């Protein structure tokens, strides 16, 4: 293992160690107002972007921006051309930028784009597009591929399936995350009877990740039988769309468990850095859920509090 990866892994552990964690999330969620939660949050690593007086949406955007900044710092410590894992994680933010740009081209009001820096792939070129057709041409010539539709919801779904493909190829340790997230996406489509309407590009990604049989599922129960068995845990006991929130919660919890082990591995590696980066994203998601609850007046349900946070995140 090179000195560069050892340094990057150590930096990753340091960044992950400054997360809010479950204790911080509970504290934010127990705040009786968003203002009180933001006061606490400004004293953490999220204070770089979070400011007093923000509304809920702006505060949640700032939390994610803080996580992205930390990913950029982490990537800067990795050996040259060795930050592929951080780039794939940052691609989650590029998806938001790309979809919001499409929405802006349609005349809608959208948040400011995330600053990706060197972790961007297609965003610099996509930002210059002045029509959805131009945007799709940029995507078609990039790692993302053509989303197959001008519709923003379909575009997001297509980009997320492409992200799964990218995540699964970055390193072996990330492949289970990619497959199980693709199951999550397929579950949403199956519940809305939209899986047969997938454009060919994203459908090809779904077939690659889940196998062709999964795309023929007509129910969530059937889908659970058809997807790769190691990834089916997210669908255990899920039979209708009202249970879909559980699928996402299970995915993030499994990712958190895996990433914690990767980050804490005694021998630093590229996987250690990827694990640290994923922990940063998981923490930002949970903190965002905490702010949602604080804006509603806070919660204080003891042991079940974390369950509530995860459900709304």
What tens digit of pLDDT does each residue of 192-247 get?
877 777 899 999 999 999 999 999 999 999 999 999 999 999 999 999 999 999 99
167-203 pLDDT, tens digit each:
999 999 999 999 999 999 999 999 987 777 789 999 9
The residue-averaged pLDDT of 26-48 equals 95
Can you read off the two tokens belonging to residue 38?
Answer: 């933001």
Q: Containing domain of residue 52, as a range?
A: 3-312
Is the CB of residue 32 less than 8 Å from the CB of residue 293?
Answer: no
Query: What's the structural domain count of the chain?
Result: 1
24-35 pLDDT, tens digit each:
999 999 999 999
Q: Which residue, chain included where needed, has tokens 């579950």?
A: 187
The residue-averaged pLDDT of 50-68 equals 97
Q: CA 219, 220, 223: angle at the middle one, nearest 5?
A: 90
- Alpha-carbon Rg for the chain, nearest whole angstrom, is 19
Output b/e per residue, 146-157; b: 16+ Cβ within 10 A.
Answer: bbbbeebebbbb
pTM beyond cutoff 0.85: yes
Distance CA 267, CA 250 (A): 28
């Amino acid at each position: 293992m090179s000195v560069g990866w050892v340094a990057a892994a150590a930096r990753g552990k340091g960044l992950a160690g400054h997360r809010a964690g479950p204790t911080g999330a509970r504290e934010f969620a127990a705040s009786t107002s968003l203002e009180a939660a933001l006061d606490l949050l400004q004293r953490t690593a999220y204070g770089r972007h979070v400011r007093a007086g923000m509304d809920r949406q702006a505060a949640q955007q700032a939390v994610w921006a803080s996580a992205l900044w930390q990913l950029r710092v982490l990537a800067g410590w990795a050996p040259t051309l060795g930050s592929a894992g951080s780039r794939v994680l940052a691609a989650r933010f590029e998806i938001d930028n790309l979809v919001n740009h499409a929405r802006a081209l349609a005349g809608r009001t959208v948040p400011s784009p995330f600053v990706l820096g060197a972790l961007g792939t297609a965003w610099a070129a996509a930002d210059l597009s002045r029509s959805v057709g131009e945007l799709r041409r940029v995507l078609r010539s990039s790692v993302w591929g053509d989303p197959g539709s001008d519709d923003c919801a379909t575009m997001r779904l297509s980009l997320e399936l492409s992200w799964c493909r990218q995540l699964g190829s970055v390193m072996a340790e990330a492949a289970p995350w990619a497959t199980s997230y693709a199951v999550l996406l397929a579950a949403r489509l199956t519940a809305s009877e939209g899986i047969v309407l997938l454009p060919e590009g994203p459908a090809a990604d779904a077939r690659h990740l889940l196998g062709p049989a999964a795309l023929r599922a007509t129910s969530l129960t059937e889908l659970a039988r058809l997807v790769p068995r190691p990834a089916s845990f997210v669908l255990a006991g899920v039979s209708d769309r009202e249970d879909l929130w559980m699928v996402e919660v299970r995915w993030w919890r499994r990712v958190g468990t895996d990433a914690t082990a990767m980050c804490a591995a005694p021998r630093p590696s590229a996987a250690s850095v990827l694990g640290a980066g994923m922990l940063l994203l998981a923490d930002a998601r949970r903190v965002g859920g905490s702010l949602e609850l604080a804006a509603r007046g806070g919660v204080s349900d003891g042991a079940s509090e974390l369950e509530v946070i995860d459900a709304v995140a």
